[in-house]
Amino acid sequence: MARKKRGNPVHGWIILDKPYDLGSTQAVSIVRAIFKAQKAGHGGTLDPLATGLLPIALGEATKTVPYVMDGEKQYEFTVKWGEQTDTDDVEGDVIITSDNRPTEVEIVAALPSFTGLISQVPPKFSAIKINGKRAYDLARAGEEVVLKARDIQVDSLELVEIVDQDSAKFQITCGKGTYIRSIARDLAVQLTTVAHVTHLKRIKVAPFGKNQMISLDKLRELSHSAADLAELFASLISVETALDDIPALAINQNEMNELKMGRELIPQNSISDLLGEVCCFFEGTLIAICESNGISLKPKRVFNII
């Protein structure tokens, strides 16, 4: 006999406004407990010292996490000039100082060098694995950490404001794998100074934006009253939102049953114009993500929402 899953079959996304000094894994555990969900995951780690948008997948939404992980990201961050730390943020110890402070004109002139496809060396205090061990664990143990440069995509990098002589605020739109701490470090080098990140907030993980964020305090408040439970569950965003870029196809009940059995099928409606991934829906409910060759559909991920 199959063991019954603990928790409720809750399916959807919560777009959490993650607070400062809370790890992403901790945040997922808290949200899962609030909803008493059977399973949960997140769509892209935020460091404990970073705040802002953390997409949390509940139930069948966990099957769409890879699509969110690959989505475009947007951050706001503040850089302090004149001090480099060993972690490239406020958590570390100052290791280099400089009296040089870049002007607004100099900063703006340097930004185009950090857009497009660029090469970046991740911070040594990062979660990248070296011979099976996390780089940050090796760095904290005093071992030498040498990380290879990797290509990243930066769509835009803009100066938002000069906060004061020692700091400036920026906004960046970038792809997967971008380290904002490295952007700040390398920008400072180009400006013949040193720097570290003092504030980092994520405001977008496509397809989710900051207007969809909800705080932990609000979720807790709604969960404490039976009268507010409807509003709590109304904060869930549908599973298929993560798949907005994938074409949709309506299927009938027999086709739904075939896909749920994991069987390849030739649908009743022509799919000659649909090549690659296709989301299949029955009466508005997501059933499967399939691979289409223009003739048949082969299920890749099947959802148990109904």
171: how many CB neighbours lie within 10 A of its CB?
15
The pLDDT of residue 96 is above 80: yes
The pLDDT of residue 132 is above 80: no
Q: pLDDT value at position 1? A: 46
Do 268 and 250 meet the contact criterion of CB atoms below 8 Å apart? no
Confidence band (pLDDT; 50, 70, 90) for 45?
confident
Q: pLDDT value at position 44? A: 87
Q: Is 245 a catalytic residue?
A: no
Q: pLDDT value at position 229? A: 85
3-state secondary structure of 164: strand
* Average pLDDT of the segment spanning 76-81: 98
Residue with the larger pLDDT of the pair 92 and 133? 92
The pLDDT of residue 228 is above 80: no
Residue with the larger pLDDT of the pair 156 and 71? 156
Tens of pLDDT along 230-249?
A: 899 999 999 999 999 999 99
Instruction: Check if CATH label 3.40.190.10 holds for domain 12-71+208-240.
Output: no
Tokens coding 66: 């890879």
Domain range summary for the chain, segments of one domain joined by +: 12-71+208-240, 73-205, 246-302
Q: Considering the candidates 17, 47, 88, 186, report the single residue annotated as catalytic.
A: 47
The pLDDT of residue 66 is above 60: yes
Preceding omega of 207 cis (within 30 degrees of 0): yes
Closest CA to 181 of 120, 109, 130, 100: 120
Indicate the length of the chain as a whole number: 306
Q: Taking the C-alpha atoms of 24, 25, 27 and 33 in order, what is their torsion angle to the nearest 10 degrees?
A: 160
Tokens coding 151: 């290509």
Please work out, in degrees rounded to the nearest 5, the angle formed at the alpha carbon of residue 146 by the alpha carbons of 142 and 152: 130
Buried b or exposed e, range 256-292, using 16+ CB within 10 angstroms: bebbbeeeebebeeebeebeebbbbebeeebbbbbeb
Q: Choose the CATH number for 73-205 among 3.30.2350.10, 3.40.50.300, 1.20.1300.10, 1.10.3720.10.
A: 3.30.2350.10
* Average pLDDT of the segment spanning 204-226: 93
Name the pTM for this structure.
0.90
* Average pLDDT of the segment spanning 268-291: 95
Confidence band (pLDDT; 50, 70, 90) for 225?
confident
Q: pLDDT value at position 149? A: 87
Tens of pLDDT along 180-206?
A: 999 999 999 999 999 999 999 999 999
Q: pLDDT value at position 136? A: 60
Please work out, in degrees rounded to the nearest 5, the angle formed at the alpha carbon of residue 90 by the alpha carbons of 153 and 96: 90
Q: pLDDT value at position 128? A: 67
Q: pLDDT value at position 129? A: 67
The pLDDT of residue 62 is above 50: yes
Instruction: Check if CATH label 1.10.3720.10 holds for domain 246-302.
Output: no
Strand ranges, E, within 47-166: 51-58, 73-81, 83-85, 94-97, 116-120, 129-130, 133-134, 150-164
Confidence band (pLDDT; 50, 70, 90) for 288?
very high
* Average pLDDT of the segment spanning 276-289: 96
246-302 has the same fold as 12-71+208-240: no
Q: pLDDT value at position 291? A: 97
Adjacency order of strands within the sheet including 297-302: 248-250, 275-282, 285-293, 297-302
Q: What is the mean pLDDT of the chain?
A: 92
Tokens coding 94: 């100052």
Tens of pLDDT along 246-259?
A: 999 999 999 999 99
3-state secondary structure of 252: coil
Tens of pLDDT along 156-172?
A: 999 999 999 999 999 99
